Amino acid sequence: MEHHKLSLDQLQDSFSEIHPRYTPNEAIVEAERCLYCFDAPCIKACPTSIDIPTFIRQIANDNLTGAGTTILESNMMGHTCGRVCPVEELCVGACVLGREHRPIAIGRLQRYATDHIFENDIQPFDLVADTGKRVAIIGAGPAGLSTAGELAKRGIRATVFEKQELAGGLSTYGIVVLREPTNVALEEVGFVEKLGVTVRTGVEVGRDVLPEDLLREYDAVVLAAGTGRVPPLGVPGEELEGVVEALPMIAATKLADKDGTEALTRIRVGNEVIVVGAGNTAIDAATVAKRLGAERVTMLYRRGREEMSAYDHEVAFVRAEGVDIRLLTQPVEVLGEGGKVTGVRCVRMRLGDPDASGRRRPEPIPGSEFVLPADQVIKAIGQEKLVALYDAVGVEHASGYVRTDGELRTSNPKVFAAGDCVRATGQALTVTAAEDGKIAARAIARQLGVAEPVPARDDTRGRFLHATVNEFGRIHG
């Protein structure tokens, strides 16, 4: 499993952000195509209800601070979301222009606006007087940071406990660099900290800090711990050298993006790589393997395309990268020689009757076994749930997810939960974690008797925008 087949320059190119940033002229031309629809479908399709036509209008008027403020007011994680949201399925997919023309590139415009805010260190929110209320948050991923930032807007001070060395959760350690450079995630952490949030990294709740202490010392506790490691495949040969977990491999590329790209040359990748799984993590792991220089990358999934959680555009992307996706294929054994991986024995599957989840159950086809050669196997079959932590905090859970009501209250009235750890149904996304943060913060504030926040500072919104909207209204779509 020796590399590096690629030079440092090639690696650097392979791991730079896919879409270049708009030039000012490109951004204005794109923004001016927007119809500023009344009752805009793009807003309805955004889980955080960003006022998209308004921020696009602000970009068209060269009011980038106003545009960034409009975004961040609705979505504290807007800097990340402009890059990683599956916009084809959300706002862009709903854009009326998509019916006959090219839809507006809302994600790229959003990124253009938030880049302006972060690069110029603009703080659109006034610091709010401290109410004296204190909230502990477990996990500094998008859900924890969004909750903390939204609480800060209400004068409620949050302390976020994060077990990793860096905050940002999967924005920092998971989402592939091509979509989100690591510094974008870290800038977002800094932005939330400047609102008065304390982030304590390298502190694991349950090990370094006890949940009962948090419950005693704080007015409320928020579980925003995401999910855990990739579970074992449960097949013989899993202990062989060359069988690796997807998330640490992706995380290594994220850290290399921060620490200097020569670290990419130290990440081991095979020539013939098999990725087991077909979700977000598997797609990103396959992309990373290919971009690190693997000759052949094959994803194995035991069900069919319809059951894959990956979106069409993700599948198209990974296929364009040259990754082969083998559906209805299950690994049954990792083969090796001299302690090292040499291949994977697979069996072909067919779909039988629906199981309890309503999905058709995959069944092996007798006598259909075959061997695929491999010198690296990447495990990417989902992530374990943090039930030990839920139990330690003392909240009810079902099928690995914390049980909550519509306001994200758990079975313990002092504990709320947000993000991937509550997402039993639907896609686990950064944007849904950000929206959870808003819902949880609103509910906590109400429970603690704290008033709702005032909108972002007026001077950042720009007078011209108000004049334009008042004078002409929005054009009906």
Ligand X SMILES: Cc1cc2nc3c(=O)[nH]c(=O)nc-3n(C[C@H](O)[C@H](O)[C@H](O)COP(=O)(O)OP(=O)(O)OC[C@H]3O[C@@H](n4cnc5c(N)ncnc54)[C@H](O)[C@@H]3O)c2cc1C
Binding site for ligand X (CB under 6 A): 84-85, 138-144, 161-164, 169-170, 174-175, 179, 204-206, 224-226, 250, 280-281, 284, 386, 389, 419-420, 428-431, 433
Provide the minimum distance between the beta carbon of 383 and ligand X in the complex, in angstroms, as a whole number: 7
**Parallel/antiparallel/unpaired status of strands 376-379 and 272-276:** parallel
Beta bridge partners of 272: 296
Cβ proximity to ligand X: between 155 and 211 the closer is 211
Residue 34 in the binding site for ligand SF4 (CB under 6 A): yes
Cβ proximity to ligand X: between 109 and 428 the closer is 428
Cβ proximity to ligand SF4: between 97 and 315 the closer is 97
Cβ proximity to ligand X: between 230 and 374 the closer is 230
Tokens standing for 88? 């084809």
Rounded distance, CA 373 to CA 292, Å? 19
Cβ proximity to ligand SF4: between 34 and 209 the closer is 34
Residue 67 in the binding site for ligand SF4 (CB under 6 A): no
Provide the minimum distance between the beta carbon of 161 and ligand X in the complex, in angstroms, as a whole number: 5
Residue 95 in the binding site for ligand SF4 (CB under 6 A): yes
| 3-state SS track over the chain | CCCCCCCHHHHHHHCCCCCCCCCHHHHHHHHCCCCCCCCCHHHHHCCCCCCHHHHHHHHHCCCHHHHHHHHHHHCCCHHHHHHHCCCCCCHHHHCHHHHCCCCCCHHHHHHHHHHHHHHCCCCCCCCCCCCCCEEEEECCCHHHHHHHHHHHCCCCEEEEEECCCCCCCHHHHCCCCCCCCHHHHHHHHHHHHCCCCEEEECCCECCCECHHHHHHHCCEEEECCCCCCCCCCCCCCCCCECEEEHHHHHHHHHHHHHHCHHHHHHCCCCCEEEEECCCHHHHHHHHHHHHCCCCEEEEECCCCHHHCCCCHHHHHHHHHCCCEEECCEEEEEEEEECCEEEEEEEEEEEEEEECCCCCEEEEECCCCCEEEECCEEEECCCCCCCHHHHHHHCCCEECCEECCCCCCECCCCCEEECHHHCCCCCCCCHHHHHHHHHHHHHHHHHHHCCCCCCCCCHHHCCHHHHHHHHHHCCCCC
158 touches which of ligand X, ligand SF4, none (CB within 5 to 8 A by kind)?
none
Stretch that binds ligand SF4, among 33-41, 118-126, 127-135, 399-407 (CB under 6 A): 33-41
Provide the minimum distance between the beta carbon of 18 and ligand SF4 in the complex, in angstroms, as a whole number: 21
Provide the minimum distance between the beta carbon of 390 and ligand X in the complex, in angstroms, as a whole number: 10
Rounded distance, CA 417 to CA 385, Å? 14
204 touches which of ligand SF4, ligand X, none (CB within 5 to 8 A by kind)?
ligand X
Residue 52 in the binding site for ligand SF4 (CB under 6 A): yes
Cβ proximity to ligand SF4: between 42 and 224 the closer is 42
Cβ proximity to ligand X: between 205 and 415 the closer is 205
Residues touching ligand SF4, count (CB under 6 A): 16
**Looking at 11, 31, 40, 285, which residue binds ligand SF4 (CB under 6 A)?**
40
Residue 97 in the binding site for ligand SF4 (CB under 6 A): yes
Provide the minimum distance between the beta carbon of 140 and ligand X in the complex, in angstroms, as a whole number: 5
Residue 349 in the binding site for ligand SF4 (CB under 6 A): no
Cβ proximity to ligand SF4: between 53 and 144 the closer is 53
Residue 55 in the binding site for ligand SF4 (CB under 6 A): no
Residue 35 in the binding site for ligand SF4 (CB under 6 A): yes
Rounded distance, CA 136 to CA 415, Å? 10
Residue 104 in the binding site for ligand SF4 (CB under 6 A): yes
Residue 81 in the binding site for ligand SF4 (CB under 6 A): no
Provide the minimum distance between the beta carbon of 41 and ligand SF4 in the complex, in angstroms, as a whole number: 5
Provide the minimum distance between the beta carbon of 81 and ligand SF4 in the complex, in angstroms, as a whole number: 15
Cβ proximity to ligand SF4: between 41 and 382 the closer is 41
The residues that touch ligand SF4, with contacts defined as CB under 6 A, are: 34-37, 40-42, 52-53, 56, 95-97, 104, 106, 477
